[in-house]
Chain A
Amino acid sequence: PTPPYLKWAESLHSLLDDQDGIHLFRTFLKQEECADMLDFWFACSGFRKQEANDGNEKMLKLAKAIYKKYILDNNGIVSRQIKPATKSFIKDCVMKLHIDPAMFDQAQTEIQTMMEENTYPLFLKSDIYLEYT
């Protein structure tokens, strides 16, 4: 069978589908001071998954927490990678209490594209990954 670390090189999704892969990628991102991008990506996925079993109040609290931590501060690594229009859309949703499971989807896609084009290829060439393999 293919060892997991070779699968990680196939696509960002194969990497993010493996606990050890996530751990190593996060260590790399931490070095580059952009681990927040990965946390945000997972927070968006988690937010979308919560809809079925959780009440509106919890969703609102969570949406506010994600907004405050990653988007509100324009100097934050995540905020800097998200388009202004996407940010104002999320801000509007939070302010008007329009909480929707898909409200972070566009922002997540933008961060994902950034990782696919930038940090993920760098990770595959990094000492951290090469030493692991």
Chain B
Amino acid sequence: IDSEDDLLQECISSAMPKKK
């Protein structure tokens, strides 16, 4: 379950804009 959550979290972060 942990790894699934990590995967999801990583996916969400990858779509966020980078700090300007």
Output the residue of B12, B16, B17, B20 with the most chain A CB within 10 A: B12
Question: How many Å lie between the Cα of A42 and that of B13 in the bound state?
Answer: 8
Select A61's contact among B7, B15, B17, B19, beta carbons within 8 Å: B7
User: What's the dominant secondary structure at chain B's contact region?
Assistant: helix
Identify the stretch in A16-24, A78-86, A95-103, A117-125 within 8 Å (CB) of chain B at 4 or more residues: A16-24
Distance (whole angstroms) from the CB of B5 to the closest CB of chain A: 8
Interface residues on B, range: 10 to 19
Instruction: Report whether A19 and B16 are in contact in the complex, using a CB–CB cutoff of 8 Å.
Output: yes
Report A124 CB to chain B, min CB distance, Å: 19
CA–CA, A65 to B11, complex, Å? 11
**A46–B11 touching, CB < 8 Å:** yes
B4/A50 in contact, CB under 8 A: no
Cβ contacts under 8 Å, A69 to chain B: 8
Which residues of chain B have a CB within 8 Å of any CB of chain A? 4-5, 7-8, 10-20
- Nearest 3 CB-CB pairs, A to B? A46-B11, A45-B15, A46-B15
